[in-house]
């Protein structure tokens, strides 16, 4: 292992080769000292490709396309600026598939940049906040460059990296990424109330990040003995633990423990996770595993969407002609939750776009991506109610979905030509 003073003194020319693919963990796992140094040095470096998950920092900008090629898994977070500029080449794949694609080099990774903190177990570091793809990235990379950041929480399981897997070690000299929960809107609170009414005490929930998931968790504050098995969690999960709502006592798998692949939160969540044996940081091989989810007790998967058509097809990727979402883990959890005994899959969304001008229940996707197919869809929820699509015919689905659309758009949806409403959009 080569040790270098600080991130700001690192010379990437020593470690990069022409056409290398450079990557780092998503969200809060981004090593800002290293990524900012990479951007600063870009004109002195060979042309390289950046492979990114969801970014939440301001590190990357469309102007950097003069030296970097961009490939990514989604157009969410601050990836949106790259996607809008049409310089982000999207790889559409399920989260459950990503570790295997990396290890097989179907998704190539040459150099990985990570944040680490020494782990109490001798010979190991922890990456603390992001374990989803990190083990696969470290395994596949030719060169692993790490910055030591003592602000990380000490977490274990798949968030651990052996010292001998790190090629270059430097001290962090940059900020950390903290993501406090956003405040939900009144409409999101109404959607959340319908979602919470579907979830029984003793269920295990999967929840995403953002204002609607926050609203759902707040609406669950009257529930008891809930568990958590999720790709990511945010601060609001700490609130549910502190209020005695989340106990993980009836999960069936990993009883007594929250299982997640990432921490997208503020210092409150990081402090909660630090040394917490009741929190397991696991890779996407585990969090998104169909086999694992099928053993979880009453797994309720709660996801959102850009729009849903009258047959039940879900688009969670493209809005206004721009790629702003992701395939992500939605299908993994939709299928995994329904394989769980007593589990359900919920797609929750406001009935209109924020400006109220467009319905998010639509007659047809008209060629926009089908993220979750109609054969997999279970429950659709808006602020106007719940459409249970299990075992329903195309005509029944159209009627139920129109009934939970915004009233201003219901007449148009109900009078749409049935053949158009039941035509499967092609991606």
Find, among 95, 81, 74, 151, the residue nearest to 118 by Cα. 151
Q: For position 391, what pLDDT does the model report?
A: 96
Whole-angstrom distance, CA of residue 79 vs CA of residue 83: 6
- Model's pTM, two decimal places? 0.95
User: Mean pLDDT over residues 363-390, rounded?
Assistant: 97
Q: Which of 138, 171, 204 is the last residue of a domain?
A: 171
Same domain, 88 and 195: no
Q: Is the predicted pLDDT of residue 416 greater than 90, yes or no?
A: no
* 297-340 tens-digit pLDDT: 999 999 999 999 999 999 999 999 999 999 999 999 999 999 99
Tell me the two tokens of residue 73. 């898994």
Task: Say yes or no: 108 and 241 in one domain.
Answer: no
Judged against a pLDDT cut of 90, whether residue 419 lies above it is answered with: no
Does residue 104 lie in a domain region? yes
In this structure, are residues 139 and 133 in contact, taking their beta carbons and an 8 Å threshold? no
Task: Look at residue 181 and tell me if it is in a domain.
Answer: no
Average pLDDT, integer, range 43-70: 96
| Residue 102 belongs to some domain of the structure | yes
> Domain with 50 in it: what CATH number?
3.40.1080.10
Query: In the predicted model, what is the mean pLDDT of the chain?
Result: 95
CB 217 within 8 Å of CB 162: no
**333 and 239 in a common domain:** yes
Domain identity same for 217 and 361 = yes
Which one of 140, 171, 202 terminates a domain? 171
In this structure, is residue 235 part of a structural domain?
A: yes
pLDDT reading at 426 higher than 60: no
Same domain, 101 and 201: no
117 close to 39: Cβ distance less than 8 angstroms = no
Residue 196 belongs to some domain of the structure: yes
| Domains held by the chain: number | 2
Same domain as 315, residue 247: yes
Instruction: Kindly give the pairing relationship between strand 68-72 and strand 48-52.
Output: parallel
234/207 Cα distance (integer angstroms) = 9
In the prediction, which pLDDT does 176 show? 95
Q: Residue range 355-360: average pLDDT?
A: 96
Residues 236, 97 within the same domain: no
pLDDT beyond 60 at 245: yes
pLDDT in tens, 25-43: 999 999 999 999 999 999 9
pLDDT in tens, 115-152: 999 999 999 999 999 999 999 999 999 999 999 999 99
Residues 231 and 265 in one domain: yes
List the beta strands (DSSP E) in 188-335. 204-206, 227-230, 258-260, 279-281, 299-303, 307-309, 314-315, 318-319, 322-323
Q: Are residues 250 and 109 in the same domain?
A: no
Question: What is the per-residue pLDDT across 252-268, written as a single tens digit (0 to 9) for each?
Answer: 999 999 999 999 999 99
pLDDT tens string 215-232? 999 999 999 999 999 999
Residues whose CB is less than 8 angstroms from the CB of residue 204 and which lie 6 or more positions away in sequence, other chains included: 226, 227, 228, 229, 248, 250, 251, 252, 296, 297, 298, 299, 300, 340
Has residue 25 been placed in a domain?
A: yes
| pLDDT for res 122 | 96
50 band by pLDDT with thresholds 50, 70 and 90: very high
Q: Is 50 helix (H, G, I), strand (E, B) or coil?
A: strand
pLDDT attached to residue 211: 97
Supply the pLDDT for residue 97: 98
At residue 427, the pLDDT reads 40
Considering the domain boundaries, does residue 427 fall inside one?
Answer: no
Domain assignment of residue 364, yes or no = yes
**pLDDT at 385 (0 to 100):** 98
CB 31 within 8 A of CB 60: no
Residue with tokens 């450079």: 22
Report the CATH number at residue 267.
3.40.1080.20
Asked whether residue 160 falls in the same domain as residue 213, the answer is: no
pLDDT of residue 166: 98
Q: Dihedral angle at the C-alpha atoms of 273, 342, 372, 24, nearest 10 degrees?
A: 20
CB 128 within 8 A of CB 155: yes
Q: Which residues of 46-74 are buried (b: 16+ CB within 10 A; e: fewer)?
A: eebbbbbbbbbbebbeeebeebbebbbbb
**8 A C-beta contact, residue 228 and residue 322:** no
Q: Say which residue the tokens 């402090």 belong to.
A: 271
Give yes or no for residue 59 having a pLDDT over 70. yes
Whether residues 19 and 56 fall in one domain: yes
Which pLDDT score, from 0 to 100, does residue 414 have?
83
418 confidence band (pLDDT: 50, 70, 90): very low
CB 91 within 8 A of CB 283: no
* In the predicted structure, residue 90 carries a pLDDT above the cut 80: yes
Say if residue 233 is in the same domain as residue 154. no
Domain carrying residue 244 = 186-421
* pLDDT tier, 415 (very low <50, low <70, confident <90, very high otherwise): confident
Contacts of 230 (CB under 8 A, 6+ apart): 205, 206, 207, 208, 258, 259, 260, 261, 287
Residue 420 has pLDDT above 80, yes or no: no
């Amino acid at each position: 292992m080569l040790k270098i003073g600080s991130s700001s003194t690192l010379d990437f020319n020593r470690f990069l080769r022409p056409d290398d693919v450079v990557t780092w963990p998503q969200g809060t796992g981004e090593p800002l000292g290293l990524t900012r140094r990479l951007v600063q040095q870009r004109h002195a470096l060979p042309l390289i490709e950046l492979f990114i998950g969801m970014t939440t920092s301001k590190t990357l900008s469309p102007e950097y396309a003069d030296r970097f090629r961009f490939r990514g898994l989604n157009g969410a977070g601050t990836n949106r600026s790259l996607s809008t500029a049409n310089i982000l080449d999207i790889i559409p794949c399920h989260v459950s598939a990503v570790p295997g694609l990396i290890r097989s080099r179907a998704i190539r990774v040459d150099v990985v940049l990570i944040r680490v903190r020494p782990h109490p177990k001798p010979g190991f570091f922890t990456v603390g906040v992001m374990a989803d793809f990190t083990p696969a990235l470290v395994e596949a990379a030719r060169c692993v460059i790490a910055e030591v950041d003592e602000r990380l929480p000490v977490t274990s399981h798949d968030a651990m990296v052996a010292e001998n897997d790190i090629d270059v070690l430097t001290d962090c000299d940059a900020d950390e990424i903290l993501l406090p929960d956003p405040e939900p809107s009144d409409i999101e609170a109404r959607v959340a109330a319908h979602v919470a009414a579907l979830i029984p005490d003793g269920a295990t929930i999967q929840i995403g990040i953002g204002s609607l998931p926050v609203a759902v968790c707040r609406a669950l504050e009257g529930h008891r003995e809930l568990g958590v098995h999720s790709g990511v969690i945010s601060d609001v999960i700490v609130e549910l633990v502190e209020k005695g709502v989340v106990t993980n006592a009836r999960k069936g798998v990993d009883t007594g423990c929250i299982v997640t692949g990432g921490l997208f939160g503020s210092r409150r969540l990081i402090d909660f996770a630090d040394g917490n044996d009741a929190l397991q940081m696991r890779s996407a091989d585990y969090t998104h595993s169909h086999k694992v989810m099928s053993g979880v007790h009453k797994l309720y998967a709660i996801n959102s969407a850009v729009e849903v058509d009258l047959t039940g097809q879900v688009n969670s990727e493209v809005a206004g002609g721009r790629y702003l979402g992701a395939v992500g883990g939605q299908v993994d959890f939709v299928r995994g939750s329904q394989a769980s005994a007593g589990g359900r899959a919920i797609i929750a969304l406001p009935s209109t776009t924020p400006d109220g001008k467009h319905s998010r229940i639509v007659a047809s996707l008209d060629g926009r991506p089908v993220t979750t197919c109609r054969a997999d869809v279970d429950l659709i929820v808006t602020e106007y109610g719940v459409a249970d699509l299990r075992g329903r015919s195309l005509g029944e689905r159209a009627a139920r979905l129109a009934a939970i659309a915004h009233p201003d758009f219901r007449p148009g949806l109900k009078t749409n030509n049935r053949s158009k409403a039941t035509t499967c959009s092609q991606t």
